[in-house]
Amino acid sequence: MLKKRYFLFILALVFLSACQSSGPSTRLSVELSDFSITPTQLSVPAGAEVHIKIINNGTVEHNFYIMQYGVDVGDMFDEEDIVNAYWEVEAQPDESVDISFTAPDQPGIYQIVCGMPGHLQAGMVGTLEVVK
């Protein structure tokens, strides 16, 4: 009897983890910290209205830039990269921001970066996959 319960528990865990990694979502939750973006890979449906919760668990201000299609900011994010941004939101330390954006129509991989000086180099980089 105990074994059966254990088996069902494992089955439930497998099911839950499968749900979390399943394809594009219109509800995202992203954690910004000193200095990482979690998760580093996000996926949304093309053209969809996406709700995103940005949580800054760090001790300094962070932001979250989605770059335009085909743009890679390179080794560092600076002022000239701002015009190439698709969308951006900022979060102060301990702040949680609930906001929406419209996903790009063009399917593909988009770069995500924190635009604060030095944060990209420290590891605040990721990708947004836009799925048709």
Q: What residue ranges bind Cu ion (CB under 5 A)?
A: 62, 114, 116, 119, 124
Closest CA to 96 of 36, 54, 35, 124: 54
User: CB of residue 96 vs Cu ion: minimum separation in angstroms?
Assistant: 15
Give residue number: closest CB to Cu ion. 114
Q: Are 130 and 110 in contact (CB under 8 A)?
A: yes
By beta-carbon proximity to Cu ion, the closer residue of 32 and 44 is 32
By beta-carbon proximity to Cu ion, the closer residue of 59 and 102 is 59
C-alpha 102/C-alpha 86 separation (Å) is 10
H/E stretch holding 45 reads strand 41-45
User: CB of residue 75 vs Cu ion: minimum separation in angstroms?
Assistant: 16
